[in-house]
Structure formats: structure tokens, C-alpha cells
Structure 1
């Protein structure tokens, strides 16, 4: 069971014990359930410190390093968008305790000026702006970044979705900070760094999405990732497999309404 789902169950159970049975208390905070245990400050604000401690106690031991998955992609590439929303984000949601994801928006872009952009992108100037926008969001929002990027890539209009997705998943980060990054030196520095990372790939990338596992690329792993990334991550993890990988039942205290 994913973290947010487990936390919701624990909150319902603890709510049943405290309430009179007519309603469930809801934390008065601006963060979605998936973010409640991201930091002590958020847990305190949302009044879920005890529940977060219980959830953390069930997490897989970090003695074995997580599977490192790095995605080199473009913000408006249809194949990249499908991989993020249909494979990468759902897999990470279930396996984030054994999986670390790094997003590198750049792909097949070139550091050649075009129009109002210092870069040339496969899907035009809008994609160059989208790449830089997502690089800024990743830099500014930390743990919330993947939720925001997935929200954007799942939307009909990636760029227009950026601001509402940011407000939904990282309300403490103002849009003005993203806009400042996007239209200032920081955005160009971030994309230049992504360009350098992409050029340093060995073997050199020939398409996107381009996925590496623990820093290495193989055609076999790419084929397996495109068909079932979840299965591949479970197989690559060297530690004790979590229940999600093995299909083992997770028994929770039962509660009824």
C-alpha cells in the first residue's frame, strides 16, 4: 500500500477512536495527504505527528540503497509524457521506499539560440520554456517536485497547468519564485547543467524517454521499463522486497463506520 493510502487508513482509525462516531476530524492544513509526512513541520501543522511516526516505522530499511532511476526527457514529448504518467509516477508512488527518481528535462534540445530562447528544442520554443519551467520547479520544490511534474504532464496543456499544479502540491512556494527563475539567470544555469548531464551520457542518448538504472543504460532494461517498470524496479532492488513487490498481504487494524 502506498504511503498516502496507509496514512489515510491510520488517520481514519485514529479518528474513530477519538470522535463520537458522527464525523472524522480533518487536519487543518494546506497540504495534500501525500505530503503530510514529508517533514516534521508539515506533520505538526496537519496534526498527524503520531500517524507519521507509525507510517515511518513500517518503511523498508535503508541499509540497502534504493534503485536509482534517472529519466532524461522533454516536457512536450508525447512518449515522455506517457512514460511519466503511466509508468514512472505510478511505480514511484507504490515503491518510493526502494526507488529514487531523478528528472532531467532537456532531451534532444541543443544549446543553439532560436527565437527568444538560447536553446533549440525538438517540439519548438514552447518546449524549451517547458523544460526550463520544470527544471526551476524541480530546483525550488524538492520533495513535491515529482507530484507537480506529473500533474503538469498529465494535463492537456503542460505549461498552463504549471501554476495550479504548483499551488496544489507545494503551496508554500509562490509562483513568482518560479517565474523569477524562468526569466532570470537561474533558469538558464539549470538547463545548462541538464544539457551537460545529457551530453555526458554513455552510451550517448539517441531518443527520449531515455532511462538509466543505477547510472547505467541498457536496451534490455529500457524495453522492460517500457512494458512494466514496476516489475523491473522490484527485480533490481537488492534488499528485502516490500509487500507491494511480493504480493504479501499487509494486515492493518480493522475499523468500521
Structure 2
């Protein structure tokens, strides 16, 4: 089960106030705070099962479809990097219970008609971007979606996207060796993933004219894209058809608090 960003923050505050902060050692568990409530086993290992039960009580109605956000982008495009780091990832951190994110790294790349070349793709920002796109495609394929988004955010927010890839993978998915990503990038799997991303991008209707290109529930409108670029958070809250979560309404969430 997923933990929404705003509730993750509340959980951190609560656990710090209830004995996991300065007064006692950090919980001895292998998972980052965003994963503490993913399963009962993890919650028990991290000693936050009570807090997770309280936080889960505020979840939106799971029967209502989430807002599906698909981003078609390029790994080294400055505007794409800005959208991922300043709009998409922060919004998803706060609203991941009511939104689903799909990342399609390809953008304005071109596929050579012949695949006899060692580099069948050309990218708007050169060969490094082609490699960055493929690394991120492989990470999306080899790791769980939530972890993959954390890894890609880590890369895109770094000074050097490509150089950060290995350390970002180790930070968020230590069980996945870099050798698997490297084999994917250098082998046929990476090219298959990029061809699939090329087909998805080419199938867009209307056809994309720039990146970042953002669709909501499978549809693109210039109006929604303009709103997303200025305040994706408000747009997702508006598009969600169910009862708005506390993050959207600003309603306080009361938790059982204690102090030391």
C-alpha cells in the first residue's frame, strides 16, 4: 500500500515527537520513511505500525480512479528537468494516493531507419541524452515504479544526470546492482525499451510538438498543460473526482501525539 507524501510528512513528525527523533535512536530498519507503511511487515520492522494505522485511516476512497499523469520527456532537457523536480515529483510526493505517474523518456529523439548502427537513436541534446534516456528506461523496467521515480528524480535534480545514476540507484534500490542497469543499457533490452517508448511517443494524438509533453488520463490539452506547468498540484486536486484528501483541502489531520 502507498503512503501519500503529506501523510509521510505527518508520520515523520509524529514519530519524531513520539520517540524516534532526538530522544531515542533512529529506527533500525532498512527502508526510507516513504516506504514505512507500504506493508505491515515493514511497519513492524520500523516500529511505526500504530502510526501507519492512524495515517491509513485518512486515505481517499480507493474505488475512485486516480488521476493518471503521463510525462513524455528527455533526460537532459532543462525544461523537463525543471518540471520533474519542481512540479511532478513534489506533487506526487503529496498526492500519490490520488495520482499515478508514468514516465516515458524519449521526447524529441529520432530512430534511424536502419538498426545496423551502434547508435540507432539520435537525441536533441546529443549522445549523452540518448544514454540518459536509456538508463532511465532501464531503471523504470528493472525497479518497482515508486522506487524508479525516486531514482529518476535523484538523477534529474543532480548537477550531472548521468554521473548521478549509479549513486541514486544505490540510494533508493540497493538490492538492484548497477551491473543489471549497465547490461540493460549496453544490451538489446535497452534498445527494445527505447523502441517501445518511441512507439508510445509517436502514437500521441495530437502529435507532440515539444517536451515536456503531459497528458492527463490519456488526453492532452494545451489548457491542462499550461495549468500543470504553473501548479500541477492544484490541477491534480481539481481533476480528482473523489473526496479530496487533506493535502488538497488543507484540512488538519489529527494524530495521537506525545512529547519527550
Task: Give the structure-2-normalised TM-score.
Answer: 0.90
Which residue of 1 is the match for residue 206 of structure 2? Answer: 203
Tell me: CA distance 1:253–1:45, structure 2 relative to 1, closer, same or farther (3 Å). Answer: closer
Structure 1 residue 22, shift from structure 2 partner: 7.8
- Separation in 2 of the partners of 1:248 and 1:53? 19
Tell me: CA distance 1:62–1:85, structure 2 relative to 1, closer, same or farther (3 Å). Answer: same
- Separation in 1 of the partners of 2:80 and 2:154? 14
- Separation in 2 of the partners of 1:46 and 1:253? 18
Larger RCO of the pair (alpha carbons < 8 Å, separation 6+): 2
Matched, 1:29 2:33: no
Work out which of the residue numbers 112, 119, 130 in structure 1 matches 2:121. Answer: 119
Count of equivalent residues: 253
Structure 1 residue 186, shift from structure 2 partner: 1.2
Which stretch has the larger CA shift, 135-144 or 113-122? 113-122
- Separation in 1 of the partners of 2:33 and 2:231? 27
Which residue of 2 is the match for residue 237 of structure 1? Answer: 240
Q: Work out whether residues 84 and 153 of structure 1, in 8 Å CA contact, stay in contact via their aligned partners in 2.
A: yes
Write out per-residue CA displacement over residues 65-107 of structure 1, whole angstroms, 9 at most, x where no aligned residue. 1100000000000000000000000111111111110000000
Q: Work out whether residues 18 and 258 of structure 2, in 8 Å CA contact, stay in contact via their aligned partners in 1.
A: no
Tell me: CA distance 1:201–1:26, structure 2 relative to 1, closer, same or farther (3 Å). Answer: same
Mapping of residues 1-257 of structure 1, within 5 Å: 2-15=6-19, 23-112=23-112, 116-142=118-144, 143-257=146-260
Q: Work out whether residues 35 and 144 of structure 1, in 8 Å CA contact, stay in contact via their aligned partners in 2.
A: no
Tell me: CA distance 1:61–1:209, structure 2 relative to 1, closer, same or farther (3 Å). Answer: same
Task: Give the structure-1-normalised TM-score.
Answer: 0.91
Secondary structure at the counterpart of residue 27 of structure 1:
coil
Secondary structure at the counterpart of residue 2 of structure 1:
helix
Secondary structure at the counterpart of residue 248 of structure 1:
coil
Tell me: CA distance 1:50–1:182, structure 2 relative to 1, closer, same or farther (3 Å). Answer: farther
- Separation in 2 of the partners of 1:169 and 1:186? 22
Tell me: CA distance 1:55–1:22, structure 2 relative to 1, closer, same or farther (3 Å). Answer: closer
- Separation in 1 of the partners of 2:233 and 2:7? 16
Poorly superposed stretches of 4+, deviation over 4 Å = 113-116
* Unmatched tracts of structure 1, length 5 or more: none
- Separation in 2 of the partners of 1:224 and 1:172? 38
Tell me: CA distance 1:255–1:196, structure 2 relative to 1, closer, same or farther (3 Å). Answer: same
Q: Work out whether residues 72 and 210 of structure 1, in 8 Å CA contact, stay in contact via their aligned partners in 2.
A: yes
- Separation in 1 of the partners of 2:142 and 2:70? 19
* Unmatched tracts of structure 2, length 5 or more: none
Q: Work out whether residues 115 and 125 of structure 1, in 8 Å CA contact, stay in contact via their aligned partners in 2.
A: no
Secondary structure at the counterpart of residue 101 of structure 2:
strand
Q: Work out whether residues 114 and 120 of structure 1, in 8 Å CA contact, stay in contact via their aligned partners in 2.
A: no
Q: Work out whether residues 60 and 98 of structure 1, in 8 Å CA contact, stay in contact via their aligned partners in 2.
A: yes
